[in-house]
């Protein structure tokens, strides 16, 4: 790849979950769609991050690099108890070393790449990379999907040029002039599920067209507590619909054979590149409270039940879920109440599958919460920032 052809470099980064990686893909595709003639896009992910593998086949990215990073383990609602947990304390101390190593690696890579702009989507990778970009005075653009900003974004906020955010500016502690509400970027494959598209998706996913479909998925690596709740009432759920259940890579290997081989039940470790098909095929969806997944479902337009992980930092999934529930765009149920009575889940699934009026109203409410041109808006911000970052270097991006 010649330096003359790719005179300007955009670094994009994210780690930890599909909710950080898939929006990057949408943004890089939107940037490339602007047809810049002298731009290379370099993705920097976290070493050992399984979700970063999604970028390996992504044609909109010209180079894929990794550095080390570490996270601060904080569990919502556990207060001082987590400070007394020796195992958690040791992991945090180890990861402080990882952050230091990652910072050195980031300084080396950014010195070599000389990017005009760094776009940080989220995850632990953002801290060493953000600090390195600040050291070199490279313009930084970030994006927050959740209604509550992540720790990475807050730590590097003072050096960020533009904070692009999903929710109204009032949700975030950033200076209003530097903050732009854009929604959440998702891949173009996610489209409103017309009757024809649903029929095609049912066929493509090899599902029974004579039966309704319930699609269940949690985190990309697994949602063990939620999975256990599902298995406790699986017999009753299967009386209502055929089920496709993404149990996560960590939990799939431990899944009992009796569950794997049930009629009308399909367990999958992870779905790469076909989430839009399974969402489109579904008549109802049960999911966690990840912001990106919620927007994807809302764009496709499916009645959904959100079971947020309330232990995640700051309870951000619960905040996301409440936003949808309060706008009649989803049903929100807690793991605590579902562990007490599984019939609550059965009752709500039955309602979404059989009450067309409620399902239609929920889908209509979802449309009011999403912006469809988020990737394009962020691409415009990056394009303008690339021009500023390349000034004086003779490396300006051109269409």
| pLDDT tens by residue, 302-316 | 999 999 987 665 577
Lowest mean pLDDT among 79-83, 190-194, 262-266: 79-83
Q: What pLDDT sits at residue 152?
A: 86
What is the average per-residue pLDDT within 131-149? 93
The ranges assigned to domains in the chain are 8-184+372-389, 195-367
Higher pLDDT, 72 or 94: 94
Query: Are the beta carbons of 376 and 188 closer than 8 angstroms?
Result: no
Collapsed DSSP state (helix, strand, coil) of residue 48: coil
Q: Which CATH number fits domain 8-184+372-389: 3.40.930.10, 3.40.50.2000, 3.30.565.10, 3.40.605.10?
A: 3.40.50.2000
Query: Is 50 exceeded by the pLDDT of residue 353?
Result: yes
Query: Are the beta carbons of 352 and 361 closer than 8 angstroms?
Result: no
Radius of gyration, CA atoms only, the chain: 21
Q: Give the confidence band of 391 by pLDDT, cuts at 50, 70, 90.
A: low
Kindly indicate whether the domain formed by 195-367 is annotated with CATH number 3.40.50.2000. Answer: yes
* Rounded distance between C-alpha atoms, residue 7 and residue 40, angstroms: 8
Q: What is the pLDDT of residues 159-170, one digit of tens each?
A: 999 999 998 899
Q: What pLDDT sits at residue 82?
A: 53
Asked if the domains at 8-184+372-389 and 195-367 fall in one CATH topology, the answer is yes
Q: What pLDDT sits at residue 255?
A: 78
Label residue 116 exposed, middle or buried (CB < 10 Å: 0-12, 13-18, 19+).
buried
Q: Give the confidence band of 293 by pLDDT, cuts at 50, 70, 90.
A: very high
């Amino acid at each position: 790849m010649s330096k003359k052809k790719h005179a300007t470099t955009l670094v994009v980064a994210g780690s930890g979950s599909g909710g950080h990686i898939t929006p990057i893909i949408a943004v890089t595709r939107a940037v490339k769609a602007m047809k810049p003639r002298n731009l290379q896009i370099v993705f920097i992910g976290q070493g050992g991050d399984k979700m970063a593998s999604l970028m390996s086949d992504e044609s909109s990215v010209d180079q894929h690099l990794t550095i080390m990073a570490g996270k601060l383990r904080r569990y919502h609602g556990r207060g001082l108890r987590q400070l007394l947990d020796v195992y958690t304390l040791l992991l945090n101390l180890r990861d402080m070393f990882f952050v230091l190593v990652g910072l050195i690696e980031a300084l080396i890579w950014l010195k070599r790449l000389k990017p005009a702009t760094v776009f940080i989507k989220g995850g632990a990778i953002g801290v060493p990379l953000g600090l390195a970009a600040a050291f070199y005075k490279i313009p930084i653009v970030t994006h927050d999907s959740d209604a509550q900003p992540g720790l990475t974004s807050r730590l590097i906020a003072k050096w960020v040029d533009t904070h692009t955010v999903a929710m109204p500016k009032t949700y975030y502690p950033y200076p209003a002039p530097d903050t732009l509400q854009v929604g959440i970027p998702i891949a173009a494959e996610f489209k409103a599920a017309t009757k024809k598209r649903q029929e095609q998706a049912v066929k493509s996913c090899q599902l029974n067209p004579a039966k309704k479909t319930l699609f269940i998925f949690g985190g990309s690596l697994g949602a063990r507590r939620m999975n256990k709740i599902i298995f406790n009432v699986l017999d009753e759920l299967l009386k209502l619909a055929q089920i496709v259940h993404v149990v996560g890579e960590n939990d799939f290997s431990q899944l009992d054979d009796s569950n794997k081989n049930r009629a009308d039940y399909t367990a999958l470790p992870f779905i790469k590149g076909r989430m839009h098909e399974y969402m489109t095929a579904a008549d109802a969806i049960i999911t966690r409270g990840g912001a990106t997944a919620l927007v994807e479902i809302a764009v496709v337009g499916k009645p959904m039940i959100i079971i947020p992980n309330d232990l995640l930092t700051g309870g951000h999934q619960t905040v996301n879920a409440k936003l949808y529930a309060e706008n009649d765009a989803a049903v929100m149920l807690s793991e605590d109440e579902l562990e007490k009575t599984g019939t609550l889940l059965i009752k709500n699934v039955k309602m979404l599958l059989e009450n067309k009026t409620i399902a239609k109203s929920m889908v209509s409410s979802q449309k009011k919460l999403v912006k469809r041109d988020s990737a394009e808006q962020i691409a415009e911000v990056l394009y303008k920032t690339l021009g500023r970052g390349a000034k004086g270097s003779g490396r300006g991006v051109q269409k």
